[in-house]
Structures are given as structure tokens and as C-alpha cells.
Amino acid sequence: MQTGLRFQAATLKEFVGTLLGYAGSEPEEAQRVADHLVSANLAGHDSHGVGMIPSYIRSLAQGHLQLNQHATVVKDAGAVVTLQGNRAFGQVAAHEAMELGIEKARQYGLAAVALHNSHHIGRIGYWAEQCAAAGFISIHFVNVVGDPMVAPFGGKDSRFGTNPLCVVFPRKHGAPLLLDYATSAIAFGKTRVAWHKGVPVPEGCLIDHQGQPTTDPGVMHVPPLGALLTFAGHKGYALAAMCEILGGALSGGQTTHQASLQESVDAIFNCMTTIILNPELFDAPDMHQQAEAFIDWVKQSPHDPNEPIQVPGEWEAHNRATRLAQGIPLDESSWNAICEAALAAGMPDSELQQFRSRLA
């Protein structure tokens, strides 16, 4: 059910930072996670925004998520570096991995940075945007360890995670071109959002526990569980498999199989292998002109005047502008779950009520 609750990004960020402070995060960590989650909402990806908080607080209580930890380098081979995430907040570990990768790409022209054993790293576009802001192209292969929810093409049960792929190309002006999506037909978080709202998901995204097609998002939340399908049939499945291998195996982490299955649904562990390239080092003086000419060209394809043709990343940039101006919408069920998580994290009810009156 959509309730019309709207939250200003800055106040929501303050609320999340305060909540995580009660949970035990140092101020810098609390701010990093808050910025990441609220940025996902601003970008329009509510599945990876503040709605993740209840799951994070449960993962912490179960002893999986480790607070105030950092990524550590396990192998530095020059342009290739491998980091251990130490079950830290992914928002911290991935930030540190990208910082190091960007430094390496500045030094070598290109770099590969692998991160394993990190808690959930959220919206991958955020990490690509960090690379683009430094002037770099980046390509990210990500797997979700031991948390199967997607069926292989032709299969009838879940065997791997929603394995996102992300690619960014910085433009001279405006938001970068940004490809950022799960290789499942929809992100798992989108089934959670639909389930909370009580609405079906589009056809072709889900199968039930017997392998039959369904649009009921409940099959991902109430046992017996079904599975997500990959996008674009066998092509999406092939890409998901490469995200699993490059993200999970090449990073020094784990792929999903019997021995790596997680015991908790709240502990989401990601591995990510990122390739970072300095575009300035290519012999391509027309690179930006060529990119812009292509963008203009595709936008001129005949279309419904009310629905302009977009390029990758434009959807997020548009949402960001709108939501910064008009606030971030949240459904009541997700908001109530976040408030419960705030109390569980140790926020006094009086302070929660103060925030509620400022936020809702």
C-alpha cells in the first residue's frame, strides 16, 4: 500500500546515521552507510535503500555483520589487488576497495580490484559513480555468496544470487552513462517492496516452489519458496554465471554451492571484481564527441513524446533530481519495519518519536 509518506534526504540520512550509531557504528561508518542507503533511494532503487536496515540489524544481532571493521589487502600485485572484506559493512569495505582501485588506476592506467567476504555492498552504481567521479570507466562483476534465489535457465529451483553487473562511462557534462542491474529479471529487493505494497510483480520474473510461473512476490518471502528467473532467458543466465565466477571465484571469495550456503537470510555477503580504466590513456581524441553523437542519435528514434528515450543512468539522474526536490517516498510497511529496527538497535522511543514527527 502506498501511503504518501515522503522524507527529505538530509533528515532521512541523519535518522539512519543516528540509528546506526545506537547499533554501535563509529560516526564515520554510520555516515557512510547512511549516505549509501539514502543515495540508493534518491536514485530510485528503493530495493537497496533504507529498507535494507531491518535486515542489517538482524544480521548484526545474529553475529554476521561486523561493525567498525575495514577491508584489508591480502595481495598487492601492482595493478591487481585483492582485498578481504572482514564481514564489514559493505558500504565501508567497497568504498575502501574503490579508493585503492582508483589510486592504482591513476598509477598504472588500469587496475583490477577484487573484494571478498564483505557484507552487503548495496547498490553497485554507487561504486561506479565513485570511479566516474574520479574520471574513470569501471566494470563491476558481483556475486551474492551462498544465498540462492535465482534459477538457472531451464532449472526449477534457485541455485545462485541476483548477481549484478555494472558499467560506467563518465561524460564531460552531466551524469555518467551507467548500466547497473541484477541479472535476475528483477532485484530480490523489488519483490520485497512489491510484497510490502501488496502488488504483483511483472510476468516472467518468478516461478513458484514447483517451478510454475507466477506474479506473486510472496513466493520469495513465505515458504515454500520459489525462485527468480534471470533476465533475457539464456543470455541473462550466461551473464549471471560470469558474475558468479569473476565476482566470486576470481576475487578469492566463494561461489554459491552446497558447501557455501549461508545459514541466515539476513546475512548477505557480496564479492566484487572491478576493472577500472583511465579513458585518457586511449588514443581516442573524439571519444566524448562520439559518445554524445551516439546518445543524440538514439534519442531521435521516433517515440511517444511523453516518454523520451533515455540512456543508461538517466533514469537514476532524473529520480535524484525529483526526489531531492520532492522528498523520498516510502511505503508505510517498510517505514514501520525500519522504526522497529531503530528500537532494536537501541534508539530510545522518545528520540524515535521526535524523528517520526520530523520525517513523516
Least distance in Å: CB of 270 to ligand NAD? 5
User: What span, in angstroms and rounded, lies between the C-alpha atoms of 196 and 2?
Assistant: 9
3-state secondary structure of 314: helix
Interface pick for ligand NAD out of 245, 315, 327, 343 (rule CB under 6 A): 315
Pick 7 or 160: Cβ nearer ligand NAD: 160
φ, ψ for residue 17, nearest 5 deg: -60, -45
| Interaction between residue 266 and ligand NAD (CB under 6 A) | no
User: What span, in angstroms and rounded, lies between the C-alpha atoms of 142 and 348?
Assistant: 37
Identity at 82, one-letter amino acid code: T
User: What span, in angstroms and rounded, lies between the C-alpha atoms of 347 and 57?
Assistant: 12
Q: Write out the three cell numbers for 228.
A: 527468480
Least distance in Å: CB of 297 to ligand NAD? 15
| Interaction between residue 243 and ligand NAD (CB under 6 A) | no
Cα distances (Å, whole numbers) of residue 175 to 27, 79, 170, 172, 278? 29, 27, 7, 9, 18
Least distance in Å: CB of 247 to ligand NAD? 9
| Interaction between residue 178 and ligand NAD (CB under 6 A) | yes
Q: Write out the three cell numbers for 49.
A: 535503500
Contacts of 350 (CB under 8 A, 6+ apart): none
φ, ψ for residue 210, nearest 5 deg: -100, 5
Q: Are 171 and 179 a contacting pair, CB within 8 Å?
A: no
DSSP-assigned beta bridge partners for residue 271: 143
Least distance in Å: CB of 147 to ligand NAD? 9
Interface pick for ligand NAD out of 186, 339, 352, 359 (rule CB under 6 A): 186
| Interaction between residue 270 and ligand NAD (CB under 6 A) | yes
Identity at 137, one-letter amino acid code: I
Provide the H-helix boundaries in the chain.
9-23, 27-42, 53-61, 90-108, 124-133, 188-197, 233-243, 287-299, 314-326, 332-345, 349-359
| Interaction between residue 330 and ligand NAD (CB under 6 A) | no
Interface pick for ligand NAD out of 162, 230, 254, 255 (rule CB under 6 A): 162
Residue among 271, 333, 274 nearest 147 (CA): 271
Number of shown-chain residues binding ligand NAD (CB under 6 A): 29
Among the listed ranges 71-79, 151-159, 173-181, 235-243, the one in contact with ligand NAD (CB under 6 A) is: 173-181
| Interaction between residue 30 and ligand NAD (CB under 6 A) | no
Interface pick for ligand NAD out of 66, 264, 310, 319 (rule CB under 6 A): 310
| Interaction between residue 121 and ligand NAD (CB under 6 A) | yes
Binders of ligand NAD among 66-95, rule CB under 6 A? none
| Interaction between residue 122 and ligand NAD (CB under 6 A) | yes
| Interaction between residue 217 and ligand NAD (CB under 6 A) | no
Interface pick for ligand NAD out of 316, 331, 338, 352 (rule CB under 6 A): 316
Among the listed ranges 15-23, 30-38, 93-101, 304-312, the one in contact with ligand NAD (CB under 6 A) is: 304-312
Least distance in Å: CB of 180 to ligand NAD? 4
| Interaction between residue 116 and ligand NAD (CB under 6 A) | no
φ, ψ for residue 327, nearest 5 deg: 95, 165
Least distance in Å: CB of 72 to ligand NAD? 21
Interface pick for ligand NAD out of 48, 87, 95, 196 (rule CB under 6 A): 48
Least distance in Å: CB of 154 to ligand NAD? 21
DSSP-assigned beta bridge partners for residue 155: none
Residue among 58, 10, 6, 68 nearest 35 (CA): 10
> Where on the chain is the footprint of ligand NAD (CB under 6 A)?
45, 47-48, 120-125, 142, 144, 162, 164, 166, 178-182, 186-187, 190, 270, 310-313, 315-316
